Amino acid sequence: MTNQTTKMYLQIVRELRLLIQAENIKPGEKLPSERELAERLQVGRSTVREGLRSLELLGLIETKRGEGTFLTDYRKHKLVDVLATFILQDSKALEDVQVTRELHEKEAIRIVVGSSKLNQLPVWTSLLNQLTEEGSIIREDLIREILISSNNRLSLKMWFLLKQFGEHPFQGYSTLEEKGYIQKLIEAIIDGEIEQALGTFAAWTDWLSKGREII
């Protein structure tokens, strides 16, 4: 039985998938123990572990010493994390991260502004009020709302990841000048003015990167 064409640990991954399906194990719930799996699948425990470890690195399962192995919420896989540290080693890569993040942001703006449903969401006027009254909106808040409203969870997820990767240059509160950009962008969204919205976004981004250079 040790002479297989397909590697055993991959078989484990497959079996595990079937098992999860068959027993209807939901995210957060517990998987059989390593020893039990080894028994049931008629393989050594170390082989089971090789399969489990690879799934863990993918963020598909979570193990807790002394407790067991659990199926994770798929929404928080860390594959990109891993890839990133491997792949992103030169400075061009960091720039790519930023460009790619902005790519997702721009598209989300297009989606939201272009939809007469989405651009009338109460959240926009709410944000506008919050801005004029308290002045406590920061870039991330607005962009996040836009991403969420654009209704593409995958894109949202990537955005979150990219955001974590890149530098975090402007976590603080907005300056007066930045508030102007924010306000213009929100107004353009509500008015459904795509060009206006994208233009403001571009100007804002430019302004930010200029500030970055000064530092």
Query: Taken in order 81, 87, 91, 95, is the CA torsion positive or negative?
Result: negative
Measured distance CA(32)–CA(69) in Å, rounded: 7
- Taking residues 39 to 78 in sequence order and writing x for each that binds a second copy by CB under 8 A, - otherwise, the string is -------x--xxx-xxxxxx-x-------------x--x-
Binding to DNA (CB under 7 A) within 36-75 occurs at 36, 38, 42-47, 49-50, 52, 63-69
Measured distance CA(184)–CA(199) in Å, rounded: 10
Residue 28 CB-half CA count within 13 A: 1
Stretches 89-97, 117-125, 128-136, 207-215: which one binds a second copy (CB under 8 A)?
89-97
Instruction: Verify binding: residue 100, a second copy, rule CB under 8 A.
Output: yes
CB of 145 to a second copy, least distance (A): 18
Quick one: the chain helix, strand, coil %, rounded to 5?
70, 5, 25
Instruction: Verify binding: residue 9, DNA, rule CB under 7 A.
Output: yes
Instruction: Verify binding: residue 130, DNA, rule CB under 7 A.
Output: no
Contact indicator for 189, 119 with CB cutoff of 8 Å: yes
Residue 193: name the closest of 112, 121, 135, 134 by CA.
112
Instruction: Verify binding: residue 79, a second copy, rule CB under 8 A.
Output: yes
- Taking residues 10 to 29 in sequence order and writing x for each that binds a second copy by CB under 8 A, - otherwise, the string is x--x---x---x--------
34 binds, among DNA, a second copy, none (CB under 5 to 8 A by kind): DNA
